[in-house]
Structure 1
Amino acid sequence: MKKYLIQFKPFLIFISTFFAAYIVLTLVYKLYLDTFDVNDVDGITNIVGKNVAQLMNVFHCDIKIYKSITDSWLEVWYNKHYSVRIVEGCNAVSVIILFISFVLAFSGKLKTTLLYILFGILFIYILNVVRIALLIVLLFYFPKYNHFLHGTFFPLIIYGSVFILWIVWVNKFSKYAK
């Protein structure tokens, strides 16, 4: 048994670090969400909604985003039509937690790790705001592709981008990079 623990030590360290970071960050995020009332929109989702509106206003889009009167989401009105809603799951925090956990599990030098995590968070956040803005426009013009766009295409883009960030991290910056 000891032989296998020694043999698989790098893998076991990776798995334990990944899950420890993931669980801690998820619990911290859950505690953050618990500070909001059931019908309130959390602060991060509000900021995402404001940034989506700001981005679309740069392109002179007719966009209005309101807090739902009855529920905990933001209503998005595009060209005077109710288009989509932005819920807590749209703010990309869960994707960011996954990204951070992986980078920490394959950590490198402290400064490099922290800078890469900050760069990754910013990149994922901006990508997510662009994703939501594009989704609003595309669903307005192509509503019959809702399932494909929201359920397949855009998740593929955001998770694919995170996967590429991981590959770059492991091959260029982690302690395992050659």
Structure 2
Amino acid sequence: MLESILRYKSALGFVLKFFVVYIVLTFVYSLYLSNFDGEPDDITRIVANQTEAIIDTFGYSTTVVQHETEPTMKLLVNEAYVGRIVEGCNSISVLILFITFVIAFTGNLKNTLLFALAGSVCIYIANLLRIVVLGIGLYRFPEYEYILHHIIFPTIIYGMVFLLWMFWVKKFSKK
């Protein structure tokens, strides 16, 4: 048994570090969310407002309002309801997963912090643009809601996270 543990020490260390960091970050985020009983959290509101501003720059009349009965933000494009921006749309869960992997696949402290920050900014911006394009896409092509929302855009976001992870492992992590 001890021989197996020593043999797979680095893999076991990765898994242990991954779960500890993931649990801690998820717990902290859950504490943050517990402050918003029945209302959208501040990060979701910020993402919704940024979405509204960006879609407006493309010449659409966009409105984001708090949903009357849910902790979500309603997105209206040219007065047509196209969808809700929920807590899961704010990219924090994806960022927690991304940061957890980067920390678990250790590099030196400076590289880890810089890469986690730069990657998080890239993911946040990509997610924001995803919601913008999704909002416009749902307005113009509502018949493609399922493929846009459930296939194309998750593939883009998670594909980007995967590519960032691979870049991290190849260029910066301690092997």
Q: Does the TM-score normalized on the shorter chain lie above 0.5? A: yes
TM-fit CA distance, 1:127? 0.5
Aligned equivalents of 1:61, 1:112: Cα separation in 2: 41
Amino acid at match of 1:94: S
Aligned equivalents of 2:55, 2:141: Cα separation in 1: 18
Report what 1:84 is aligned to.
Answer: 83
Report what 1:26 is aligned to.
Answer: 26
- What is the TM-score with the length of structure 1 in the denominator? 0.96
In structure 1, list runs of 5 or more residues that go unmatched.
none
- Assess if the C-alpha contact under 8 Å between 2:55 and 2:136 holds in 1: no
Aligned equivalents of 1:148, 1:21: Cα separation in 2: 33
Report what 2:56 is aligned to.
Answer: 57
Amino acid at match of 2:156: I
Identity %: 46
Aligned equivalents of 2:68, 2:167: Cα separation in 1: 43
1:50-71 Cα shifts (integer Å, max 9, x gaps): 1111211222221111111221
Report what 2:4 is aligned to.
Answer: 4
Aligned equivalents of 2:164, 2:63: Cα separation in 1: 33
1:36-55 to structure 2, matched below 5 A, reads: 36-38=36-38, 40-55=39-54
Aligned equivalents of 1:82, 1:33: Cα separation in 2: 26
Task: Find the residue that maps to 2:74 and give its secondary structure.
Answer: strand
Report what 2:115 is aligned to.
Answer: 116
Aligned equivalents of 2:22, 2:60: Cα separation in 1: 38
Task: Find the residue that maps to 1:66 and give its secondary structure.
Answer: strand
- What is the TM-score with the length of structure 2 in the denominator? 0.97
Task: Find the residue that maps to 2:82 and give its secondary structure.
Answer: strand
1:32-54 Cα shifts (integer Å, max 9, x gaps): 0001112x110110010111112
Amino acid at match of 2:50: N
In structure 2, list runs of 5 or more residues that go unmatched.
none
CA RMSD of aligned residues (A): 0.8
Amino acid at match of 2:37: D
